[in-house]
């Protein structure tokens, strides 16, 4: 598509700038707000920082997996609350764990189709606030109660409840279970660990590296983060990721019990991504408009690919997406100055690395010394709707700091998909 | 109901008397209902003047000739139902003619109440004073859910009382306690709360108002509550006594109107026969008496001044249509004033960037803004939902972001000229040439800021002096320098008005207007304390005079160090009359800075304050009134100086500013005006 040589500046999407909230572990300070408020905060700050006239924005596109019940089209709520004019449309997109990247690729497709030039894209997730549900049986009883007219009828309906009816179904658990294969995401990682013979130690070592790299990169990460002002919090604002464990050790990781396959499993809370709250926003537009407005973009989107795979082995998604994207662009992971693969599970990333080294993925191996240089979701957390956009943001900021040229970002997606995108600075 | 002149065809219009251009209302027959529409053609509001009364009398007479099944009152104005009596026209009435006028209105509204067919007022927009009294005479009131719809009886705020039946009918409709709450405060209520207290029967969207009103006229009358518990003579007497005690404490006897209204409303709740006439007689008598008081005359003048301040121009040669309106704003400095200003901007729908040096300070500003919104929710100014959406308008940042899109940037940083100069030099490059650059300084020279190095386009630099607390204080001084352009002043005037504040244009000069006039008064109060007059004696004297806070208590609030600093600047500019007493300097040296340090003229413990003693008091204390007059004279003299120096346009600008900005006793009409006692 838009390889360097024959690029059309009117159809090439550039990322002008981006910001994110700190990623906070579930139940932290963002537990008092919600995904919409996080999104509002990043979009408002993005508009301020870039100084763009909000009326120039053609559309706001935001990814979110578990949309708050009170904001059916969360993107529209974010747009209006962040100060975009009423005339600017907004939509929410959902491709599970890659929703934040989906927002970007939808904007790219819009641009190519001539449907807009300037977009605010991003993703937001508040996993602290994913609701609890009542069972169908209980819901039916509530309905009967509300239909009852007479006092006697009401009493009869009320007495129909049993204690079990009030036991909630955890929405988060539902969301992390693939209804087709019936497997929880952690179980899919265990499957890969078994099939690719990935040891507990290898996974823990990978997790440890994620923490160490992130801890060493605090200063660089701070450049992605904008303070979120929370009058309810202790300092009145938050601006620091709180999932990174500075003193992480193999011993500590080794003590954790497997969560998804007891007692023989290898996937633990320590070598899986953390469940977190956070949001990311990016200002993107055609290369031409950026030039006209005198803006200096962080970089451009070269091309992207979405691929499907076995839902039971959803963790392998990146491998297929990277291969499909190679077919479109001719670019190999080795062409990248850095590669960001989302760390849903250590086992899953290690399986991707392994399969890409196999003969059937001829020459597409990821150079491991260039993988996730500032750590990943195991240390930073994985607010599912936001992560895709974070990978783009962190990759571009790292390229800018290092003077590098190309980055490859990729994610696995619950339900059996993979996504990948090439970014380029010059 | 009388018969019959041949019944008019449905939908036809019965033109009243001479078809003059100035018709206040018209009468139509719709499905057998007489619809009286208030629609004064030459104005955007409907008010009650002599012509209105006459036309309404004629309309009611005309209705008597037809077989109608009901009467509906409504207005065709977009935001006014009936905004009360035409104060300008009726202000000229007095004595006998006033008594006649009051009686005429009472008779007219009583006629509405006794038409013998169902009557209904379909209220959309302001329904105030006489307008509400008319509605109270109807069998039913229906209100639109529009924010423009406000109901209230503001008469006591003007030194008068509702005397067209309002003081009599309201307690009977909603019970004495709730009625007193409305009458004594002059508060205006929106339609939903009005429905809750029983003032209106139903609330519907404005588009459905007329049809619903017509439909309701065909239904049987709702049963009215009797309020035996609160309105029986015994309870009413008790309420009267208790409320009177509270009022005396609050008004110190300076405001006769609420007392009179309490008396009339409290006695009119109950009588064995159904005649309201005895209570109406009391309304009339009290009204004619109150209208003659200096307080009423001064409060009425103040009302006109405020109305005038809503429209006054600075430079009539400027075409307002060509001016860039202020839409987007920014506040530099997130301290108490900065946060208060940002909250005031956001409250009126202006997006505002709130910025300071670091996230800690910005966070403190966001916190105080949120607290102000919480207060506004508690005071029912905003619903929780409205407040949350308005809080969204505040964009906090500690980054040096572009302010290019801002139409107005106001600086509320520390009171340090060098700091402000640096900020303005920086703003020069971050804003567009059309951005108004304002400073909220209360003591520094705006001109010095305007000509500082690096400040581009000094014609856009202006002082916007908000008073603390911003959310409560209605006055904003617009401080102009020799460079400030008329366009910028007109834009600032329009913006301040859109904040719901009253602007006064003042030439740049130390202390501007309000602080300048207050200063000699505060200094003299300090001197009196130094000489041994008890602190509470001095403060009490001024509270009796009608000030909202005694001068020494006010000094403690301002901070004694700040006061000394301001006084010294003024000595340099205006001479020794601003020299602070030694006591003030001694207190500052001892670290007693007022409320913020816990000690000053008072010892502050939490929200309580205990007076300090500074010298042996004289054996015989002077009269409080004497002390108050002496202190007041200083404000009067300084006001005269300001007027002579041409700081403001006229004496009334000073009167209005001192009343709104310093709480100068409103019933006295201001330091340079008003009726004397």
Sign of CA dihedral A329, A121, A400, A14: positive
Contact of B387 with chain A, judged by CB distance below 8 Å, is answered with no
Q: What is the pLDDT of residues B521-531, one digit of tens each?
A: 999 999 999 99
Estimate to the nearest angstrom the gap between the alpha carbon of A372 and the chain centroid: 15
Considering only residues A232 and B605, tell me which one the structure prediction assigns the higher pLDDT: B605
CATH number attached to the domain at B514-646 = 1.10.1040.50
- 3-class SS of residue B580: coil
Weakest-pLDDT range from A27-31, A384-388, B109-113, B207-211: A27-31
CATH 3.40.50.720 positions along chain B are 324-507
CA angle B273, B278, B284 (to 5 degrees): 155
> Which residues are A18's β-sheet partners?
A282
Question: What residues make up the domain containing A46?
Answer: 13-129+275-424
Q: Which residue has the tokens 């309106």?
A: B325
Whole-number Å distance between alpha carbons of A272 and A382: 10
CB-nearest to B401 from A51, A231, A235 is A51
d(CA A89, CA B638): 58
Average of pLDDT values for B529-534? 94
- pLDDT digit string (tens) for A365-384? 999 999 999 999 999 999 99
User: Is A260 a domain residue?
Assistant: no
- Within-domain flag for A137: no
In terms of pLDDT, which residue wins out, A317 or B313? A317
Pairwise CA distance, residues B269 & B232, whole Å: 7
- The per-residue pLDDT for A4 is 55
Instruction: Indicate whether A236 belongs to any domain.
Output: no
Q: Give me the CATH topology for the region B324-507.
A: Rossmann fold (3.40.50)
Is A53 in the B-facing interface, judged by CB distances under 8 Å?
yes
For residue A79, being part of any structural domain is answered with: yes
pLDDT tens track for A324-363: 999 999 999 999 999 999 999 999 999 999 999 999 998 9
Which pLDDT belongs to residue B220?
84
Residues of A in contact with B359 (CB under 8 A): 227, 229, 237, 239
Task: Quick: pLDDT tens for A143-156.
Answer: 888 888 888 888 88
Q: Which residues of A touch B362 (CB under 8 A)?
A: 227, 229, 237
- Supply the DSSP string of A297-340, one letter for each residue: -SEEEEEEEEEE--GGGGGGHHHHHHHHHHHHH---GGG-SEEE
Q: CA-based Rg of chain B, rounded to a whole angstrom?
A: 28
Kindly list the catalytic residues of B.
465
pLDDT of residue B479: 98
Contact (Cβ atoms closer than 8 angstroms) between residue B639 and residue B513: no
Residue A355 maps to a domain: yes
For residue A39, give the chain B residue with the closest CA.
B392
Would you state the pLDDT for residue B216? 94
* Mean of pLDDT values over A15-21: 98
Could you read off the pLDDT of B50-60 as tens digits, one per residue? 999 999 999 99
Q: How confident is the model over B139-186, as pLDDT tens digits?
A: 999 999 999 999 999 999 999 999 999 999 999 999 999 999 999 999
Bridge partners (DSSP) of residue A93 are A63
Q: Where are the beta strands (DSSP E) in B306-418?
A: 329-332, 352-355, 394-397, 408-411
| Residue in A13, A46, A23 with CA at minimum distance from that of residue A387 | A23
Is the pLDDT assigned to residue B6 strictly greater than 70? no
Indicate the pairing of strand B436-439 with strand B461-466: parallel
Question: What does pTM read for this prediction?
Answer: 0.91
Cβ of A83 within 8 Å of Cβ of B370? The answer is no
**Has residue A96 been placed in a domain?**
yes
List CB contacts (< 8 A) between A45 and chain B: 395, 397
Look at residues B237, B243, B240, B233 and name the one whose alpha carbon lies nearest to residue B270. Answer: B233
Average per-residue pLDDT in chain B?
A: 92
The CATH number covering residue A96 comes to 3.40.47.10
- In this prediction, residue B674 has a pLDDT band, given cuts at 50, 70 and 90, of low
**HSE toward the beta carbon, residue A273, CA cutoff 13 A:** 30
How large is the average pLDDT for residues B389-414? 96
If you average pLDDT over residues A18-26, what whole number do you get?
97
* Residue A412 among the catalytic residues: yes
B384: region left, alpha or beta (phi > 0 left; psi from -120 to 50 alpha)? alpha
Q: Which residues contact A380 (CB under 8 A, 6 or more apart)?
A: A23, A214, A221, A241, A243, A244, A274, A276, A390
What is the mean predicted confidence (pLDDT) over A281-293?
Answer: 97
Residue B333 C-alpha, separation from nearest chain A C-alpha, in angstroms: 16
pLDDT at B16 over 60: no
pLDDT at B562 over 70: yes
Active-site residue among A211, A309, A326, A412?
A412
Quickly tell me which residue has 């509605």 as its tokens: B135
| Pairwise pLDDT comparison (A70 vs A61), residue with the higher score | A61
Query: Looking at the predicted structure, is the pLDDT value of residue B272 above 80?
Result: no
- Put simply, the answer to whether B395 touches A81 (Cβ < 8 Å) is no
Contact A229 B362 (CB under 8 A): yes
Beta pairing class for B119-123 and B140-144: parallel
CATH 3.90.226.10 in chain B is located at: 13-292
Whether residue A207 contacts residue A346, with contact meaning beta carbons closer than 8 Å, is answered with: yes
Which range has the worst mean pLDDT, A38-42, B426-430, B510-514? B426-430
CA distances from A101 to A94, A301, A389, A398 (A): 10, 11, 5, 18
ipTM entry: 0.91
Model confidence band, residue A3 (pLDDT cutoffs 50, 70, 90):
low
Sheet holding B408-411: strands in order across?
B394-397, B352-355, B329-332, B408-411, B436-439, B461-466, B475-480, B502-507
C-alpha of B343 from chain center: 19
Answer whether B364 touches A (CB < 8 Å): yes
Place of tokens 């006054």: B312
Residue A259: inside a domain:
no
**If you ran DSSP here, which 8-state letter would residue A9 be given?**
T
Identify all chain A residues contacting B371, using CB atoms and an 8 Å cutoff. 231
Task: Tell me which architecture the domain covering B13-292 has in CATH.
Answer: Alpha-Beta Complex (3.90)
Q: Report the candidate in A100, A75, A77, A116 with the shortest Cα–Cα distance to residue A23.
A: A100
Distances (CA, A) of B427 to B336, B402, B447, B452: 21, 9, 16, 12
Are A276 and A25 in contact, with CB atoms under 8 Å apart? yes
pLDDT tens for A163-210 read 888 888 888 888 889 999 999 999 999 999 999 999 999 999 999 999
DSSP annotation of A131 reads P
Nearest residue in chain B measured CA to CA from A38? B392
Which of B401, B404, B429 to mutate to probe the A interface, most A CBs <10 Å? B401
The tokens 């352009």 sit on which residue? B485
Mean residue pLDDT across chain A: 94
Q: Looking at A64, A211, A326, A382, which residue is catalytic?
A: A382
Confidence band for B45, pLDDT divided at 50, 70 and 90: very high
Nearest to B363 among A40, A45, A236 (CB): A236
Give yes or no for A223 touching B (CB within 8 A): no
Give the containing element (helix H, strand E) for A224.
Answer: none
Tokens of A318: 């990146």
The sign one gets for the Cα dihedral B469, B471, B472, B476 is positive
The two tokens of residue B423 are 């900020």
Interface of B with A in 343-362 (CB under 8 A): 351, 353, 359-360, 362
pLDDT at B9: 42
CB within 8 Å: A227 and B353: no
CB A48 to CB B404 under 8 A? no
Exposed (0-12), middle (13-18) or buried (19+): which is A111, by Cβ within 10 Å? buried
- Residue A234 inside a domain? The answer is no
SS3 for A385?
helix
Asked if B404 and A235 come within 8 Å (Cβ–Cβ), the reply is no
Domain tally, chain A: 1
- Report the distance separating Cα B268 and Cα B259, nearest Å: 14
Over residues A22-44, mean pLDDT: 95
- Determine whether the interchain pair B367/A236 forms a contact, defined as Cβ–Cβ distance below 8 Å: yes
Q: Do B395 and A83 touch (CB under 8 A)?
A: yes
**Number of CB atoms found within 10 A of residue A296's CB:** 9
The per-residue pLDDT for B18 is: 44
Please tell me the predicted confidence (pLDDT) of residue B283.
97
Q: Using a CB–CB cutoff of 8 Å, tell me whether A85 touches chain B.
A: no
Q: What is the CA radius of gyration of chain A?
A: 22
Test A239 with B359 for CB contact under 8 angstroms.
yes
Q: Where in chain B is the domain with CATH 1.10.1040.50?
A: 514-646
């Amino acid at each position: 598509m838009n390889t360097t040589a024959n690029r059309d500046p009117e159809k090439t999407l550039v990322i002008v700038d981006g910001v994110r909230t700190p990623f906070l572990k579930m139940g932290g300070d963002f537990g008092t707000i919600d995904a919409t408020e996080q999104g509002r905060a990043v979009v408002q700050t993005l508009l301020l920082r870039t100084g763009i006239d909000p009326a120039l924005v053609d559309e706001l596109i935001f990814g979110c997996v578990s949309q708050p019940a009170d904001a059916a089209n969360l993107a529209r709520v974010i747009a209006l609350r962040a100060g975009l004019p009423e005339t600017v449309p907004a939509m929410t997109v959902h491709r599970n764990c890659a929703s934040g990247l989906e927002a970007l690729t939808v904007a790219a497709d819009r641009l190519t189709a001539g449907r807009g030039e300037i977009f605010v894209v991003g993703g937001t997730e508040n996993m602290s606030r994913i609701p609890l549900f009542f069972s169908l049986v209980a819901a039916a009883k509530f309905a009967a109660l509300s239909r009852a007219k007479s006092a006697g009828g009401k009493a009869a309906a009320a007495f129909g409840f049993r204690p079990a009816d009030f036991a909630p179904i955890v929405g988060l658990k539902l969301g992390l279970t693939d209804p087709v294969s019936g497997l929880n995401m952690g179980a899919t990682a265990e499957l890969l660990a078994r099939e690719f013979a990935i040891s507990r130690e290898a996974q823990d070592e990978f997790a440890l590296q994620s923490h160490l790299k992130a801890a060493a990169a605090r200063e660089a990460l701070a450049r992605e983060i904008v303070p979120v002002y929370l009058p309810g919090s202790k300092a009145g604002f938050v601006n620091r990721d709180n999932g990174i464990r500075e003193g992480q050790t193999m011993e500590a990781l080794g003590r954790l019990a497997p969560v998804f396959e007891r007692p023989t499993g290898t996937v633990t809370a320590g070598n899986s991504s953390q469940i977190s709250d956070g949001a990311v926003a990016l200002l993107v537009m055609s290369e031409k408009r950026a030039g006209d407005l005198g803006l200096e973009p962080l970089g451009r989107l070269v091309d992207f690919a979405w691929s499907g795979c076995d839902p039971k082995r959803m963790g392998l998604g990146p491998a297929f997406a990277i291969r499909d994207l190679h077919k479109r662009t001719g670019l190999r992971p080795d062409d990248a100055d850095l590669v960001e693969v989302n760390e849903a599970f250590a086992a899953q990333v290690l399986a991707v690395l392994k399969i890409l080294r196999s003969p059937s993925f001829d020459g597409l191996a990821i150079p491991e010394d260039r993988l996730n240089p500032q750590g990943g979701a195991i240390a930073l957390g994985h607010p599912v709707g936001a992560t895709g956009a974070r990978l783009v943001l962190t990759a571009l900021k790292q390229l800018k700091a290092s003077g590098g040229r190309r980055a490859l970002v990729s994610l696995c997606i619950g339900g059996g998909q993979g996504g990948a995108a090439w970014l380029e600075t010059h | 109901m009388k018969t019959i002149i041949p019944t008019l065809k449905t939908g036809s219009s019965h033109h009243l008397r001479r078809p003059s251009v100035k018709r206040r209302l018209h009468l139509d027959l719709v499905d057998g209902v007489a619809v009286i529409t208030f629609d004064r053609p030459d104005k955007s509001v409907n008010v009650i003047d002599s012509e209105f009364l006459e036309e309404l009398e004629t309309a009611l007479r005309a209705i008597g000739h037809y077989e109608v099944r009901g009467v509906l009152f409504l207005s065709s104005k977009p935001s006014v139902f009936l905004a009360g009596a035409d104060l300008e026209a009726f202000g000229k009435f007095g004595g006998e003619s006033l008594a006649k006028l009051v009686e005429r209105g009472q008779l007219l509204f009583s006629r509405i109440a006794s038409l013998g067919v169902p009557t209904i007022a379909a209220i959309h927009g302001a329904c105030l004073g006489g307008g509400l009294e008319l509605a109270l005479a109807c069998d039913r009131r229906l209100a639109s859910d529009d924010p423009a719809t406000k109901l209230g009886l503001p008469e006591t705020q003007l030194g008068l009382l509702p005397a067209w039946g309002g003081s009599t009918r309201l307690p009977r409709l909603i019970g004495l306690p709730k009625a007193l709450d409305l009458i004594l405060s002059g508060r205006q209520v929106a339609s939903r709360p009005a429905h809750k207290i029983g003032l209106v029967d139903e609330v519907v969207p404005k588009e459905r108002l007329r049809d619903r009103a017509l439909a309701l006229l065909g239904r049987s009358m709702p049963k009215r509550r009797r309020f035996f518990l609160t309105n029986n003579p015994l309870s009413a007497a008790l309420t009267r006594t208790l409320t009177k005690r509270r009022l005396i404490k609050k008004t110190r006897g300076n405001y006769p109107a609420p007392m009179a209204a309490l008396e009339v409303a409290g006695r009119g709740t109950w009588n064995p026969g159904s005649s309201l006439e005895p209570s109406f007689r009391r309304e009339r008598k009290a009204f004619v008496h109150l209208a003659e008081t200096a307080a009423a005359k001064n409060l009425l003048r103040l009302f006109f001044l405020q109305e005038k301040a809503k429209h006054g121009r600075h430079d009539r040669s400027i075409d307002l249509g060509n001016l860039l309106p202020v839409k987007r704003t920014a506040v530099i400095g997130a301290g108490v004033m900065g946060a208060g200003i940002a909250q005031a901007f956001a409250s009126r729908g202006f997006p505002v960037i709130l910025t300071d040096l670091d996230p800690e300070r910005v966070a403190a500003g966001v916190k105080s803004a949120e607290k102000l919104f919480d207060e506004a929710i508690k005071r029912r100014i905003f619903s929780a939902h409205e407040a949350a959406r308005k809080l969204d308008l505040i964009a906090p940042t500690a980054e040096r972001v572009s302010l290019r899109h801002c139409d107005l940037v106001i600086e509320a940083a520390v009171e340090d000229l060098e700091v402000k100069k640096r900020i303005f030099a920086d703003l020069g490059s971050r804003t567009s040439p059309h951005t108004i650059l304002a400073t909220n300084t209360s003591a520094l020279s705006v001109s010095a800021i305007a000509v500082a190095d690096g400040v581009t386009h000094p014609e856009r630099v202006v002082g916007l002096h908000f008073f603390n607390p911003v959310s409560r204080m209605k006055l904003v001084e617009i401080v102009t320098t020799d460079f400030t352009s008329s366009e910028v002043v007109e834009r600032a005037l329009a913006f301040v008005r859109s904040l719901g504040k009253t602007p006064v244009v003042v030439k740049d000069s130390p202390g501007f207007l309000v602080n300048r006039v207050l200063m000699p008064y505060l200094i003299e109060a300090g001197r009196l304390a130094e000489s041994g007059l008890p602190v509470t004696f001095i403060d009490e004297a001024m509270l009796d005079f009608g000030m909202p806070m005694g001068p020494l208590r006010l000094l403690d609030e301002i901070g004694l160090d700040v006061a000394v600093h301001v006084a010294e600047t003024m000595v340099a500019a205006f001479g020794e009359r601003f020299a602070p007493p030694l006591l003030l300097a001694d207190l500052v040296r001892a670290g007693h800075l007022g409320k913020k340090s816990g000690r000053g003229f008072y010892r502050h413990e939490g929200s309580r304050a205990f007076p300090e003693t500074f010298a042996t008091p004289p054996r015989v204390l002077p009269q409080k009134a004497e002390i108050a007059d002496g202190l007041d004279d200083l404000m009067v003299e300084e006001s005269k100086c300001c007027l002579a120096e041409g700081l403001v346009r006229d004496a009334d600008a000073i009167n209005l500013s001192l009343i709104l900005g310093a709480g100068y006793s409103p019933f006295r009409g201001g330091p340079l005006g008003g009726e004397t006692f």
